[in-house]
Homo-oligomer: A and B are copies of this chain.
């Protein structure tokens, strides 16, 4: 009887291993070999699920986005935009790891057209999701949801840069206060 392989479970195992490697050693350490070593699978098995390093990097970046969208989706209307944005601020170790993945990704995207295209795709998905959340939260129709989403993501990204490198200069409370101030200006929260 042939051995039945649960491909989805294996894929999830590879994804979890990838996440551990990135959090611990940085995006530079990601190779099919290092992720395989982390799972205990062979490199040929792992490369069956991911074509190579670029595929793994894209996946790491996608993961950061998916975690953010899952947080937003779980929030009730009225709190969705804040949940999406506040949930992405580097307020704890897990989200500081996500921020480092984002920095490393953007740094590589500068000279890698395939990663640059992925950067654009992720930001488009993020803007669309946030614009929809703003609508769910009751954004006044005199505001352009897409444009306000872009401005809010800009604030989030900029806060993340300073807070990830110097958390003692920009406290969690201050980050949230700046975010809430902008949402209040949009009539939300």
Q: Which residues of A contact B (CB under 8 A)?
A: 25-29, 100, 103-111, 116, 119-120, 123, 127, 147, 150-151, 153-159, 161-162, 165-166, 169-170, 174, 178
Q: Could you say which of B111, B120, B123, B165 contacts A123, with CB atoms under 8 Å apart?
A: B165
- Assuming the contacts A103-B109, A158-B153, A159-B154, asked whether A165 and B116 have C-beta atoms less than 8 A apart, the reply is yes
User: Could you name 30 residue pairs across A and B whose Cβ atoms are closer than 8 Å?
Assistant: A27-B107, A27-B110, A28-B110, A28-B111, A29-B111, A103-B109, A104-B110, A105-B107, A106-B107, A107-B108, A107-B110, A109-B165, A119-B165, A120-B165, A123-B165, A123-B166, A127-B169, A150-B162, A153-B158, A153-B162, A154-B158, A154-B161, A154-B162, A154-B170, A154-B178, A155-B155, A155-B158, A157-B161, A157-B162, A158-B158
Give CA–CA (A155, B169) in the complex, Å.
16
The answer to whether B147 and A174 have CB atoms under 8 Å apart is yes
Q: How far is the CB of A158 from chain B (nearest CB, A)?
A: 3
Chain B residues within 8 Å of A170, by CB: 150, 154
Chain B residues within 8 Å of A174, by CB: 147
Closest Cβ neighbor of A27 among chain B residues? B110
Chain B residues within 8 Å of A103, by CB: 106-107, 109-110
Give CA–CA (A174, B109) in the complex, Å.
24
Give CA–CA (A174, B154) in the complex, Å.
12
Closest Cβ neighbor of A163 among chain B residues? B154
Chain B residues within 8 Å of A165, by CB: 109, 116, 119-120, 123
Chain B residues within 8 Å of A166, by CB: 120, 123
